[in-house]
Amino acid sequence: MIEKIQKNKILYLKLYEILKLEIIKKMINSKYYSIRQVVIKYDTNINTALKVFKMLENDGYIYLKKGVGYFIKEKSNFYVEKEILPIMESFHFRDNDIEKINFSNGSPSSEYFPFEIYKKLIERALKNYGASLLGYQDIQGLYSLRKTLADNLEKKGLFVKKEDIMITAGTQQSLSIILNTFRDSSPKTIAISNPTYPNALNLFKNMLKIKTFDLKKDGWDLIKFEEELRKERIHFVYIMTNFQNPTGISWSLEKKKKLLILGHKYNFYIIEDDCFSEFYYTKKVEPIKALDQLGKEKVIYIKTYSKILAPGIGIAAIIMPPTIMKKAILVKYTLDHGPSGLNQKVLEYFICDKYFDKHLKKLNKIFKAKYHKIFELLSTIQHISIVNKPKGGFFIWLQLDEGIDEEIFYKKCKKNGVSLLPGNIFYSDRRNSGKLRLSFIHPTLEKIEEAVKIIDNILKNY
Amino acid sequence: MIEKIQKNKILYLKLYEILKLEIIKKMINSKYYSIRQVVIKYDTNINTALKVFKMLENDGYIYLKKGVGYFIKEKSNFYVEKEILPIMESFHFRDNDIEKINFSNGSPSSEYFPFEIYKKLIERALKNYGASLLGYQDIQGLYSLRKTLADNLEKKGLFVKKEDIMITAGTQQSLSIILNTFRDSSPKTIAISNPTYPNALNLFKNMLKIKTFDLKKDGWDLIKFEEELRKERIHFVYIMTNFQNPTGISWSLEKKKKLLILGHKYNFYIIEDDCFSEFYYTKKVEPIKALDQLGKEKVIYIKTYSKILAPGIGIAAIIMPPTIMKKAILVKYTLDHGPSGLNQKVLEYFICDKYFDKHLKKLNKIFKAKYHKIFELLSTIQHISIVNKPKGGFFIWLQLDEGIDEEIFYKKCKKNGVSLLPGNIFYSDRRNSGKLRLSFIHPTLEKIEEAVKIIDNILKNY
């Protein structure tokens, strides 16, 4: 796959990415190549090398000392709390899987972005709608996009009206809007899975009281959950019902139904973060929103389009009960004016012209092959086991044998060129339980094989 | 100006905008034109009419009853609190100044967007950087854009490093990031001007205790302000130091300096929202940030680029003290991934290629002519007076004679095709003091003349 795509790339972009990656691994302030060395080493012409050096300098990777040559630049002052570091670092791997093997990133690699289509649709949108796409848009989201999404969501069994859809800048902004919509002087409690998506956790811990519930192989223990509901008012439940991040677990239909019944009985909203339900490799799954009763909605549904198109599209949709939409529009209005009209129009075209379905099909085919490959390989190695075999999504939740520390193991992998994420960042109490999250969608089949060998070696020599 | 630009527009876009405007003024569910009627009324061909009907239907303005014809559609369910309604409504005027005269919108009209340049730069960015612009970007903002902005801000007397700049999705997001960066368990107090920018007010009132200070013609009464500081801890000051929204007032240099001294003495941060300082019509002004001491910064500076380019670009920059940048990056990370790499790159090109300076010069020339025109005209009419003649920006703050109610007057103007904003929406206590905000940057010189005549007539017959 990489091979095929790289052939289509302009040569300088390839060189640019290779050099960027090399730099990341080097010492800061060390002497860099001369242009002549790059010309020789990468068998390129001087103009390409000059152009790429200019780009690297411009992007802050290298700097020129007059009369001495190029040097590696100090990285930007990107300090972060220790526990967030791994997940933030994972973003820096995105385009660098040529040498490092990326098992950490939760988004498809840029080689899978439908770039040529995006380019074409941008041109079309600019041609058809002109400057009006650069102005302020309907705060709830482009009318025509909402209409398109309403039709498209029917395929998931979600029967919604465009009036119940709000377009946002992504999952994170969607969560902010929802929480701020309900904010008043009384403190609120949210129930979340343990483990869970750390970025949601970081947002919640500033605004809400958090109660965690262990995620079993088919959802929460709802008897225990109801006991808690009897003891204490819970206002929200936040869950990824299908192929959860990080465990890959999907809730069973029974538990989805039961949770909804509890939502009515104890009057809480279920915030369903549906990142992954399109990415199924065995059979189709339904979001809990599909079970939600019309007119008595208890589910607030968030769907990001970053996973299918590209993170840079920055568009998600919230489906919410009509009763809270008014307030949510006001909240959104105080946050920002949402994704650009241009990107909204591009997403609309992408769906209407069936690129969406075609691209999703293509991604699923690629990811499914990787999914089968990784499980086949993992079954052959020792000292690590699969906690729960998911039926879709991007992630595998792994358990290290007792005595193997996840932090040490994670660092060893990183040092050997394999990036994955230690389990503790997904727990609200940062517990070290020997877990790892492996995202299998990034590397090629060959790289997956190579990485599993590296992991196997580390485990054998631990 | 309008004439010149409309000649360059494709005919169907012109017709589309005319019809959209007409619809806004019509009754819902009333019978709409037939395609034939539009062909005759607007002297266009049937294909253009068909295309525009399709667009209007697609955008939710009209719907087809089979066998009966087109009808005007019910507007989207866009309910808002009464006091926010006028400012939200003002967005709907954006492209409709062909018939309605827009004195309400705080952004330049879409005819002034540098659309052709934007298109060209988007193409260049996509060509040069490919799919990498669609991936996640540096959370602090594109390195090369931060570098470009650092250079560009020097022209304003701001000597900042790229490390101290964060790129955000706009002024509103910038404010959210700043407030959340300082959020902890202890409640905070913010001092703001009365009147002030209502969207900031809406954001603050959810998160902070608000104290208001009357805005005099050169800033606050700082003796009174210091008295308050002695009595009560104030953590933030939020101000637009130059050409404030809504009053057009600029702080004097003395008061800017004094405020900074107070900031050090009483340990508060000054959040400076610099929307307008480039738009000066007499002499150049400096932001308070230009007086901020390096290494002992007390100013957090927000600069939006929506006013110069277009709202749809959705990019602002925050300059903040290095001590809080780390935390701010984390906060931003929980909000969203910021503006798209593509738009960041376009803004970078726009500045580097000098389009920015040229475009700003062009805008200032146009706005200056309007500025002189409106003051000349306003001086000839009775029962309304200018509270403070600004030296730049977009706004004039007007005082109605006693006995004239601002709400009634505002509605009368609206009914007669002139949109401006009633003063009460800019006060934290929503007081009715007979004030109005008039934004003079939207209509053409001819329309300004027409609008002032309409206003004069309403006042004479009040």
Domain boundaries in chain B?
2-72, 85-107+357-460, 115-353
8 Å CB contact of A312 and B137 = yes
Nearest in space to A248 (alpha carbons), one of A43, A435, A7? A435
Percentage of chain B lying above the pLDDT 90 cut: 58
Distance CA(A241)–CA(A157), nearest Å, equals 15
Distance CA(A395)–CA(A243), nearest Å, equals 8
Q: pLDDT grade, residue B96 (50/70/90)?
A: very low
DSSP class of A217: B
Residue B20 confidence (pLDDT): 67
| Residue A224 or B184, more confident | A224
Distance CA(B443)–CA(A243), nearest Å, equals 53
The set of residues, in sequence order, having a beta carbon less than 8 Å from that of B161 and lying 6+ positions away, is B150
Q: pLDDT grade, residue B349 (50/70/90)?
A: very high
Q: Residues A387-434: pLDDT tens digits? A: 999 999 999 999 999 999 999 999 899 889 999 999 999 998 888 899
List Cα–Cα distances, A246 to A26, A270, A373, B294, in angstroms. Answer: 31, 19, 19, 44
pTM: 0.81
Strands annotated E in A165-278? 165-168, 189-194, 209-214, 236-239, 269-274
Distance CA(B13)–CA(B2), nearest Å, equals 14
**What one-letter code names the amino acid at B255?**
K
Residue B99 confidence (pLDDT): 54
Greatest mean pLDDT among A32-41, A331-340, B54-63, B435-444: B435-444
Distance CA(A242)–CA(B418), nearest Å, equals 52
Greatest mean pLDDT among A6-15, B158-167, B219-228: B219-228
Residue B94 confidence (pLDDT): 38
Please compute the mean of the pLDDT values over residues B118-141 and round it to a whole number: 90
The set of residues, in sequence order, having a beta carbon less than 8 Å from that of A212 and lying 6+ positions away, is A191, A192, A193, A194, A196, A428, A429
Three-state DSSP state, A307: coil
* Chain B neighbors of A81, CB-CB under 8 A: 330
Q: Residues B152-170: pLDDT tens digits? A: 998 888 989 999 999 999 9
pLDDT at residue A6 is higher than 50:
no
The dihedrals phi and psi of B217, each to the nearest 5 degrees, come to -70, -10
Nearest in space to A215 (alpha carbons), one of A264, A188, A255, A253? A255
Q: Which of B76, B126, B309 to mutate to test the interface with A (most CBs of A within 10 A)?
A: B76
| Residue A379 or B183, more confident | A379
Distance CA(A413)–CA(A454), nearest Å, equals 8
| Residue B67 or B341, more confident | B341
Q: Which of B10, B308, B336, B342 to mutate to test the interface with A (most CBs of A within 10 A)?
A: B336
Distance CA(A180)–CA(A174), nearest Å, equals 10
A2-72 fold: Arc Repressor Mutant, subunit A (1.10.10)
Distance of CA A87 to the CA centre of its chain: 11
8 Å CB contact of B76 and A163 = yes
Residue B88 confidence (pLDDT): 55
Residue B278 confidence (pLDDT): 94
Q: pLDDT grade, residue A85 (50/70/90)?
A: low
Neighbours of A458 (CB within 10 A): 19
Residue B28 confidence (pLDDT): 54
Q: Report the residue from A199, A309, A337 with minimal CB separation from B334.
A: A199
Nearest CA in chain B to A87: B333
Nearest in space to B299 (alpha carbons), one of B278, B272, B335? B272
8 Å CB contact of A113 and B107 = no
The CATH classification of domain A115-353, taken from the options 3.20.20.70, 3.30.565.10, 3.40.50.720, 3.40.640.10: 3.40.640.10
The dihedrals phi and psi of B432, each to the nearest 5 degrees, come to -95, 105
Query: Would you say the CATH fold of A85-107+357-460 matches that of A2-72?
Result: no
Most distant CA atoms of chain B, gap in Å: 75
Residue with structure tokens 């006091």? B83
Please compute the mean of the pLDDT values over residues B326-331 and round it to a whole number: 86
Lowest pLDDT segment from B83-87, B308-312, B412-416: B83-87
pLDDT at residue B151 is higher than 60:
yes
Q: Using CA of residue A292, residue A295, residue A299, residue A301, what is the dihedral sign?
A: positive
List Cα–Cα distances, B355 to A143, B188, B271, B359, in angstroms. Answer: 32, 41, 29, 6
| Residue B319 or B9, more confident | B319
Architecture of the CATH domain A85-107+357-460: Alpha-Beta Complex (3.90)
Q: pLDDT grade, residue B108 (50/70/90)?
A: confident
Please compute the mean of the pLDDT values over residues A253-268 and round it to a whole number: 96
Nearest CA in chain B to A112: B131
How many CB pairs below 8 Å do chains A and B form together? 206
Q: Which of A24, A127, A136 to mutate to test the interface with B (most CBs of B within 10 A)?
A: A136
Residue A99 confidence (pLDDT): 54
The set of residues, in sequence order, having a beta carbon less than 8 Å from that of B70 and lying 6+ positions away, is B31, B32, B33, B34, B53, B57, B62, B63, B64
The dihedrals phi and psi of A389, each to the nearest 5 degrees, come to -80, 115
8 Å CB contact of A110 and B313 = no
Residue A94 confidence (pLDDT): 38
* Chain B neighbors of A164, CB-CB under 8 A: none
DSSP class of B315: -
Q: What is the ipTM of this complex?
A: 0.79
8 Å CB contact of A135 and B311 = yes
* Chain A neighbors of B307, CB-CB under 8 A: none
Distance CA(A370)–CA(A368), nearest Å, equals 5
Distance of CA B396 to the CA centre of its chain: 14
Distance CA(A232)–CA(A22), nearest Å, equals 54
Terminal-to-terminal C-alpha distance of chain B: 33
8 Å CB contact of A80 and B119 = no
**What one-letter code names the amino acid at A88?**
M
8 Å CB contact of B115 and A131 = yes
Residue B357 confidence (pLDDT): 94
Residue A7 confidence (pLDDT): 42
